[in-house]
């Protein structure tokens, strides 16, 4: 290690999305075994167990990307990263907390360009950080499709 500070910041950047994941999980728990099961869904919908694993990986990648940009000296793009993270968290509370798929869809349609813009801005600071956000962008697009089918089918 050049110094301990990067290591400390790595924990901060990895920890923030994972805490968001835990908070989102709390909003999800009460609905996922009841209300969510009653919804008509796309045939492409993965089993519920897939989501916590997928999101844990995506949150790790997201945190690592932010840390790389931070380490490369990027500061302003991290504000956008924080914003997209807040919007990401809001989805769980809109879709599962309020049980409102339409608000959830509106939220994802806001999230998608925010994630894309974050990835593009990150690329100026760290090409790897850009690539680390692409699975997240792809999964968010997939989530938008799943959410849309729920709006249309119910």
Which residue number, 22 or 154, has a Cβ lying nearer to a copy of itself? 22
- CA 80/CA 83 separation, integer angstroms: 5
Is 82 one of the binding residues for a copy of itself (CB under 8 A)? no
Is 37 one of the binding residues for a copy of itself (CB under 8 A)? no
HSE-CB for 124 with a 13 A CA cutoff:
10
- CA 119/CA 139 separation, integer angstroms: 14
Which residue number, 10 or 134, has a Cβ lying nearer to a copy of itself? 10
HSE-CB for 45 with a 13 A CA cutoff:
14
Is 18 one of the binding residues for a copy of itself (CB under 8 A)? yes
- CA 75/CA 70 separation, integer angstroms: 6
Is 14 one of the binding residues for a copy of itself (CB under 8 A)? yes
By the criterion CB under 8 A, which residues form the site for a copy of itself? 1, 4, 7, 10-11, 14-15, 18-19, 22, 25-26, 29, 49, 52-53, 56-57, 60-61, 64, 68, 128
């Amino acid at each position: 290690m050049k110094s301990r500070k990067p290591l400390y910041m790595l924990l901060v950047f990895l920890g923030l999305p994972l805490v968001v994941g835990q908070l989102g999980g709390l909003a999800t728990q009460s609905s996922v075994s009841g209300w969510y099961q009653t919804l008509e869904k796309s045939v492409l919908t993965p089993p519920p167990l897939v989501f916590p694993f997928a999101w844990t990986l995506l949150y790790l990648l997201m945190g690592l990307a932010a840390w790389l940009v931070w380490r490369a000296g990027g500061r302003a793009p991290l504000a956008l990263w924080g914003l997209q993270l807040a919007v990401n968290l809001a989805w769980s509370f809109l879709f599962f907390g309020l049980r409102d798929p339409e608000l959830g869809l509106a939220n994802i349609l806001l999230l998608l360009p925010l994630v894309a813009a974050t990835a593009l801005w990150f690329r100026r600071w760290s090409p790897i950080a850009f690539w680390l956000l692409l699975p997240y962008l792809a999964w968010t697009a997939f989530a938008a499709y799943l959410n849309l089918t729920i709006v249309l089918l119910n």
